[in-house]
Amino acid sequence: MIRAHRKERPKILLKTMTEVTSADRVAYLGPEGTYSHAAMLKYFGPGQNAVPVDEIPTVFSHVESGDCAYGLVPIENSTEGSVTQTLDCFGASSLNIVGEVMLRIEHCLLASKATIESGITRIISHQQSLGQCRHWLEDNYADVEKVSLFSNADAARSAVSQTGLAAIAGKTAASIYGLEILNENIEDVHDNTTRFVVLSKGDLPDPTGQDKTSLILSIRNEPGSLFNALESFKIHAVNLIKLESRPSRKEAWSYSFYVDIDGHRDDPNIAAALSDVAEHVLEYRILGSYPAAVSE
């Protein structure tokens, strides 16, 4: 981290999405057919030079090395909470958040054309997806074996060639792998949404009037230090929309705080609040200011 209030930030303008070309490689959590893949298509559009990778840290490393211009990673789910691996990667990375996208998680029961619903003997998916459809599965397939795999896309690929095997995945996976949609919207919570963020080495986009700022705070280990830092947001009428602690990994039982606020860091009240915050923390780093996505 840096003492952000002590340094002048370089002015590197991020390309707008209309300027992003197919030559700009985008790393995402693959393989094809995952919800990360669907979020990447929603944000960047079809025809992008996409690079699927196996792990969230690998998305970061592809962008840090310059192999990809952008990366896309999940950061939180409306029912499951934060993706802690993503938060921890930000603690060790210098990459910026330059955009976000919200994706409704609409689980479908998929199978090959040779499989009929009454002939399903096993249902496979990512462990989280199985959990998000638990009540529906209990009501409809209580006696059918459920098996967790590495990703929904892996489940969809397995279902292509195995009669009697059904997968839980999204419509993108059904289209890619040529599977039949036996049932759709089988998730127990129908407004289940995952938020993804876009990574880049570039600096933040210009203010739009509907922005979000993310930062990491390192707090002194003394009474009232977190309260004093957060009070700065209240004094300057800044809406604090997320606060989560994560181990700092610098020493045992020390923590950093991931914070999301409404507004752009160039907004006068945000700039004033961050100036005050700087007086109450050991250090902080702004991860990015970027256009806020509209929830579906």
Give the active site residues: 194, 196
∠ CA 164-170-175 to the nearest 5 degrees?
A: 80
User: What phi and psi values does residue 78 have, to the nearest 5 degrees?
Assistant: -65, -20
DSSP-assigned beta bridge partners for residue 166:
111, 123
Q: Report, in angstroms and rounded to the nearest whole number, the Rg of the chain calculated over CA atoms.
A: 21
- Within the chain, how many helices (H) and strands (E) appear? 9, 15
| Of 3, 81, 45, 25, residue with least CA distance to 199 | 25
Q: Kindly state the tokens that stand for 35.
A: 């919800």
CA dist 43 and 268 (Å) reads: 29
DSSP-H helix ranges across the chain = 35-44, 56-64, 84-92, 127-132, 134-140, 152-160, 171-177, 225-235, 268-277
- Spatial CB neighbours of 158, under 8 Å, sequence gap ≥ 6: 124, 149, 165, 167
Whose tokens are 């967790």? That residue is 148
- Spatial CB neighbours of 136, under 8 Å, sequence gap ≥ 6: 186, 187, 188
Q: CA neighbours within 13 Å on the CB side: how many for 239?
A: 7
